[in-house]
Chains A and B, each alone.
Chain A
Amino acid sequence: MSPLLQVEELAVAGVGEIVRPTSLDLSAGRAFTILGETGSGKTLLAQAIMGTLPAGLRASGRIRIHGPAVQDWPLAQRRALWGREVAMLPQEPWLALDPTMRVLPQVAEGHRHVRGRSSGQARAAARDDLLALGLEAAAGRLPGQLSGGMAQRVAFAAARAGGAGLLIADEPTKGLDADRRDEVAALLRREVEAGGGLLTITHDIQVARLLGGEVAIMHEGRLVERGPARELLSRPASDYARRLLAADPTAWPSATPAPVGDEVLRVEDLAIARGGRLLFEGLGFTAAAGEVIGVTGPSGCGKSTLGDLCLGLLAPTRGVVQRNPALARLRYQKLYQDPPAAFPPHATLGQSVNDVVARHRLDPALVDTLLRRLRLDPALLARHPRSVSGGELQRLAILRVLLLAPVFLFADEPTSRLDTLTQQETIGLLTELARERGCALLLVSHDRTLVDRVADRRIGIRPESPG
């Protein structure tokens, strides 16, 4: 087997060295997965191989794609390889597809212009591709009418249309729920079994496990450990790899249910329709102080809507949401998926927190107590939301709602934008504090494993039949 990709001592430098010299080989029919957190440099490595580094960054070292060393080629010459020799599966394909072009011509373009087939042949080939991916019904749709999983499959078909032997997939499962993620991983695996070379960049340990082949773990710009997937993922040798793998929800210990207090919320026969579509009906449950309730379901099933109904931010189509009348409305609070979006962007975090203290005449010492409890540096309060990391900001958001001594907290995918290690820490603190302070926690997540590990019980929302 000839190597499809040979990378020798490839490094990326900007202000400092961001990716340390790294070497890897990839042959046809093999998968190589780089696993790492945000900021580890894994995407830059892929961009350096592709030749699409952002301005201001320089790559050094040697890159051979199917034989020739390409690292010094001018951009136009490297671009000629795209689609023919090496193809890139984009992050968030619904943003990468042309929103005004239907699916079939979008896939046919690759066959026609990259492979130089006639228009009729190209359409026929594109139709075969879509059929093989179970997308024949979607041929006439626009990207906006596709679900996330379908859009990823269309992007896959379009990327593959040029006939490239090497496929680079950068976070191919970002933003997909567990079922769609497994689907995409199976699709990529089939590509490998059919004799293609696959280089995958991901933060998702499950994806690395499903793809098999060789796995490398990247941390602070270097590959800290590499080896066959099965071995490395079950018996990591390095300290960082051990911590990273232990942070995966599948490795978490199950929570021990704590004794619960008074009922703070009762929901009976709840139904909600949005945009003329019934999301769910006949839902009923109660929440007691100190209880952790998980809500799971595929994207778009109304998980977040359920939380907003509980807080009274939306009116139900049918049914009753009853909050404990003895408790102030202010003690029903919410945490958001995207932490920076939940703070006023032009005020410092300290101002935002002090505003809450001033508004409700709270004891300012409470802030210091909570800062220590949440292991937050008080210096963060002088910064603006956009210049604080996601994990710290989410903990500050927890601090802000805890000031009001909540009895019910709706956490809407609070860690889906965070890295694995940060997610473990954040979820740990959140459930710990909820149990400690007698607050009912309604934890919405697309990750069923995570919910099963930390929640006392789980509410599953079934997807409505499509259409």
Chain B
Amino acid sequence: MSTVTLSAVDTRPAGRRWSSRRLWGAGLLLLLVGFALLVPWLWGADPARQDLGRILSPPGWSEPLGTDHLGRSLLARLAAALRLSLGLALLGVLSAALPGLALGVLAGWRGGWTDRLLVMLADTCLALPGLLLVLLLVAIAPGSFWALYVGIALVLWIEYFRVVRATTAGLVTSPQIQASRLLGFGLAYLFRRHLWPELAPLVLTLAAFGAANAVLAIAALGFVSVGLRPPTAELGLMMTELLPYYHEAPWAILQPIAALFLLVLSLHLLAGREAS
């Protein structure tokens, strides 16, 4: 009797069931993305336009989130900073996940020397402290968007590689793949039917965590003034700029902090899976 109830549950594919925390995460992320994309379209203020006659004005009808120490619209700046963080995180995650996935499958599938060489490469990259690598690249090309992006991607691909490689290596010798090969299926089919369904939840979880880490890294670099340069609107940079005025305008500095907190929280909620 217990088997009957179990099988009734099992007929639903595992990936379709989203826990409530993941739904919260997705909803929060959607709100932030919506805010970042809709503000320039509905409001249309330039995030760099200064108005020294109206510095540090509190939120009101003309400026819903107030202005900063140079009289710039905080609403426009916050939306621009979120667009930048999200875009950079997305780009960083994609360019880390794709090579990580490809090399991981290659190493796990081929084994032998291919595997050993790729593992050595990953270990070499991992031996360099991640943030140091980013700092190094930023020092070579200061203030450059590309240096920041390449640095983050170089650090992040390794975890995808390792997880994908371990899962693939376990699956390659499994009866399910052996059976499909004997039945005459090619590599594309084996990847689509056997590997991807196993890898997808792992890779997507890593991607959400990776995006949160990338957002934090960009903000941290901005905060210590080695990342992007002013007048770019960036969450870490906004915090540094608004820090001296925390007493006169606490609502101003709280905005980039809250945005960063909510963004990272949404990604972590999205990545986390409920313990069964």
Q: Evaluate contact between B11 and A384: CB separation under 8 angstroms.
A: yes
Q: Which of A151-159, A241-249, A342-350 binds B?
A: A342-350
Which residues of chain A from 21 to 47 have a CB within 8 Å of any chain B CB?
39
Mask, A320-350, CB within 8 Å of B = 1, is 0000000000101110101001111111000
Size of chain A's interface in residues, with CB distance under 8 A?
A: 34
Residue A313, interface by CB 8 Å: yes
Residue B60, interface by CB 8 Å: no
Which residues of chain A from 279 to 318 have a CB within 8 Å of any chain B CB?
311, 313
Q: Evaluate contact between A344 and B193: CB separation under 8 angstroms.
A: yes
User: Contacting A334 at CB < 8 Å: which of B13, B14, B178, B198?
Assistant: B178
Mask, A377-412, CB within 8 Å of B = 1, is 000000110111000000001001100100000000
Mask, B168-191, CB within 8 Å of A = 1, is 000000111011101111000100
Q: Evaluate contact between B1 and A15: CB separation under 8 angstroms.
A: yes
When distances are taken between beta carbons in the complex, the residues of chain A under 8 Å from B230 are none
Per the bound structure, the CA–CA distance linking A39 and B3 in Å amounts to 8
Q: Evaluate contact between A330 and B197: CB separation under 8 angstroms.
A: no
* Least CB distance, B128 to chain A, in whole angstroms: 36
User: Contacting B176 at CB < 8 Å: which of A342, A383, A386?
Assistant: A342
* Least CB distance, B63 to chain A, in whole angstroms: 51
Q: Evaluate contact between B185 and A355: CB separation under 8 angstroms.
A: yes
When distances are taken between beta carbons in the complex, the residues of chain A under 8 Å from B248 are none
User: Contacting B183 at CB < 8 Å: which of A14, A345, A356, A387?
Assistant: A356
Q: A18: nearest residue on chain B (CB-CB)?
A: B1
Size of chain B's interface in residues, with CB distance under 8 A?
A: 27
Residue B194, interface by CB 8 Å: yes
Q: Evaluate contact between A333 and B182: CB separation under 8 angstroms.
A: yes
Which residues of chain B from 121 to 148 have a CB within 8 Å of any chain A CB?
none
Per the bound structure, the CA–CA distance linking A346 and B7 in Å amounts to 14
Q: A385: nearest residue on chain B (CB-CB)?
A: B176
When distances are taken between beta carbons in the complex, the residues of chain B under 8 Å from A388 are 7
Q: Evaluate contact between A400 and B183: CB separation under 8 angstroms.
A: yes
User: Contacting B2 at CB < 8 Å: which of A14, A332, A387?
Assistant: A14
Q: Evaluate contact between B7 and A387: CB separation under 8 angstroms.
A: yes
User: Contacting A344 at CB < 8 Å: which of B5, B11, B180, B184?
Assistant: B180
Per the bound structure, the CA–CA distance linking A341 and B171 in Å amounts to 11
When distances are taken between beta carbons in the complex, the residues of chain A under 8 Å from B274 are none
User: Contacting A384 at CB < 8 Å: which of B3, B5, B10, B185?
Assistant: B10
Mask, B182-212, CB within 8 Å of A = 1, is 1111000100011001100000000000000
Mask, B1-34, CB within 8 Å of A = 1, is 1110111101101110000000000000000000
Per the bound structure, the CA–CA distance linking A14 and B6 in Å amounts to 13
Q: A328: nearest residue on chain B (CB-CB)?
A: B184
Q: Evaluate contact between A346 and B184: CB separation under 8 angstroms.
A: no
Residue A274, interface by CB 8 Å: no
Q: Evaluate contact between B189 and A386: CB separation under 8 angstroms.
A: no
Per the bound structure, the CA–CA distance linking A353 and B7 in Å amounts to 20
Per the bound structure, the CA–CA distance linking A344 and B197 in Å amounts to 9
Q: Evaluate contact between B175 and A341: CB separation under 8 angstroms.
A: yes
Per the bound structure, the CA–CA distance linking A330 and B15 in Å amounts to 33
- Please name 13 pairs of A and B residues whose Cβ atoms are closer than 8 Å in the assembled complex, sorted by A: A15-B2, A334-B178, A336-B175, A341-B176, A344-B180, A344-B194, A346-B14, A346-B193, A359-B183, A383-B7, A384-B10, A387-B11, A404-B184
Contacts A39-B3, A341-B174 known; 19 new A-B pairs at CB < 8 A: A14-B2, A18-B2, A330-B183, A332-B182, A341-B175, A342-B175, A342-B179, A343-B176, A344-B180, A344-B193, A344-B194, A346-B15, A384-B10, A386-B7, A387-B7, A387-B11, A397-B179, A404-B183, A404-B184
The 10 A-B residue pairs with the shortest CB-CB distance, nearest first, are A346-B197, A387-B7, A387-B10, A341-B175, A342-B179, A344-B193, A336-B175, A342-B175, A330-B184, A16-B1
